[in-house]
Amino acid sequence: MAFLSVALLILVGLHTASLSPLVSTEEQFQFKFWMSQFNKQYELEEYYHRLQIFTENKRKIDHHNAGNHKFRMGLNQFSDMTFSEFRKSFLLTEPQNCSATKGNHLSSRGPYPDSVDWRKKGDFVTPVKNQGPCGSCWTFSTTGCLESVIAIATKKLPLLSEQQLVDCAQAFNNHGCSGGLPSQAFEYIKYNKGLMSEADYPYEAMNGSCKFKPEKAAAFVKEVVNITKYDEMGMVDAVARFNPVSFAYEVTSDFMHYRDGVYSSTECHNTTDKVNHAVLAVGYGEENGTPCWIVKNSWGKYWGINGYFYIERGKNMCGLAGCSSYPIPLV
């Protein structure tokens, strides 16, 4: 036993010595504190691998925050992951070409309020959920939007099943944990004649077999409304006049570290063939003089601004205006 303890100490010492030119004592302390915050545990080899990644991410965050940007980065539950690892676990891995060129949303000519936030209008937006390590963001964007439109129509806010969409919506060009699109999910719900509640079909963060029970359907879609490709003012019109709107866009490496402020990027594309994440616009406004969307994410309430983020509005930032949609509920 004593030999094993000595051997372990030697191994730890060798690792620490090999890291010392790269990782400071302060950075190791920050990593251990972060581990306690997010309840992370590793085997010895994994510990040093994750320490190295964490340190690189922390330095990137600090460098960004020292510059002149509209948004800040911060440590979160993803800070021990490379972007490649993050992308495989949390983003759409199947290619999504998401837009109908001509939508069926009929815009008015305004005028529109300077700001709208459906969270402040009443009990119309469900709490932030957490998709876990499954590229099912599209299902959370779908349920979030349908939950809101039903609440606006009935004054009753349901909690709907993401797992049913993961398991059952493949015929509508969706791929479970590998990706899909809200517009296609709304079509599935319409033709399937219903979506069950979260309580009756709970989320598992993995692909499964379809267990839909028609007699337990809790929500129904009458029509699917697509907003014309790249018509960002059409999105403003829909959010101002009707309800929150689902949209997809491209996440690049800096976004996984977002903390607050208005996100903008010079790295992401503004075309529909690069989108890899779907979310829910619950409002719009300005933040520090920059027009922005108020967006509900599905990475839990400890990411970003209590699970939300702001992204620059009016520039089709990261392709966000390429494929936006919302359902008309059957109530």
Q: What angle do CA 258, 131, 48 make, to 5 degrees?
A: 60
Give the active site residues.
137, 277, 297
Q: Which residue pairs from 164-167 have beta carbons closer than 8 angstroms and sit at least 24 positions apart in sequence?
A: 164/195, 164/196, 164/201, 164/210, 164/211, 164/212, 165/136, 165/138, 165/139, 165/189, 165/195, 166/134, 166/136, 166/139, 166/204, 166/206, 166/207, 166/208, 167/207, 167/208, 167/209, 167/210, 167/211, 167/212
Q: Which residue pairs from 166-172 have beta carbons closer than 8 angstroms and sit at least 24 positions apart in sequence?
A: 166/134, 166/136, 166/139, 166/204, 166/206, 166/207, 166/208, 167/207, 167/208, 167/209, 167/210, 167/211, 167/212, 168/192, 168/210, 168/212
Tokens read off for 287: 């933040």
Q: Say how many CA atoms lie within 13 Å of 91 toward its Cβ.
A: 22
Distance CA 27, CA 147 (A): 43
Place of tokens 């949303």: 105
